[in-house]
Amino acid sequence: MQEVACEICGKPHKIKDLEVSYIKPDVYLTISEEIRKNSKLSDDLCQINWERYFVRSVLPIPMNDFGYNYHFGIWVEVSEEDFNMIVETWQDENPTPNEILGVLANDIQYFQQPTDGLKGVLKLVDQNKRPQFYLRQYNHELCQDQKNGVSSQKAASFNHLLYE
């Protein structure tokens, strides 16, 4: 496992395949007990009050000095129609190639500006992997990082919170 010096503290941090990772959409933490009874959260899927629908996904960021990506583990909000389509085709050998519009549903606290609400597209990769989310706005540091890639030192600093 690769260890890289962190940009924030200078200490070595491990970079694994999947790092900073959220087990719920942020909004799930704010709902009332009553609404929670009418909602469902699993490892991969979440619906809130039959009104809002979320899919657990990864947000890949290329590391320019390594041959692989850093991955944030995040939730993406999608329409009810797309949610149902994803549930139905998840296990297919060749999932639908359609690009699914979605909205990032977690605030990754590394970034100064909030990341929740950023728009992008969800791509279903194969049945053994979580869908991948690609941002389609470029006015945010996270979007620039995904588009241009980052140094492994910056990727290590994404993991800084895990070491505090």
Among 9, 125, 161, 162, binds Zn ion (CB under 5 A): 9
Tell me the closest approach of the beta carbon of residue 33 to Zn ion, in angstroms.
37
Q: Which two tokens stand for residue 54?
A: 């979320």
Query: For residue 41, what are the β-bridge partners?
Result: 46
SS3 for 123?
strand
Chosen residue from 8, 85, 87, 101 binding Zn ion by CB under 5 A:
8
Binding of Zn ion by 7 (CB under 5 A): no
Phi-psi region of 81 (alpha: psi -120 to 50; beta: other; left: phi over 0): alpha
Report how far residue 155's alpha carbon sits from residue 6's, in angstroms, rounded to the nearest whole number: 8
Binding segment toward Zn ion, per CB under 5 A, in 4-12, 35-43, 55-63, 73-81: 4-12
Q: Which is nearer to Zn ion, 91 or 112 (CB)?
A: 112
Candidate residues 24, 119, 123, 160; the one interacting with Zn ion per rule CB under 5 A: 160
Asked if 78 interacts with Zn ion (CB under 5 A), we say no
Part of the chain binding Zn ion (CB under 5 A), chosen from 5-13, 20-28, 117-125, 126-134:
5-13
Question: Using CA atoms in the order 137, 140, 141, 146, what is the torsion angle rounded to 10 degrees?
Answer: -10
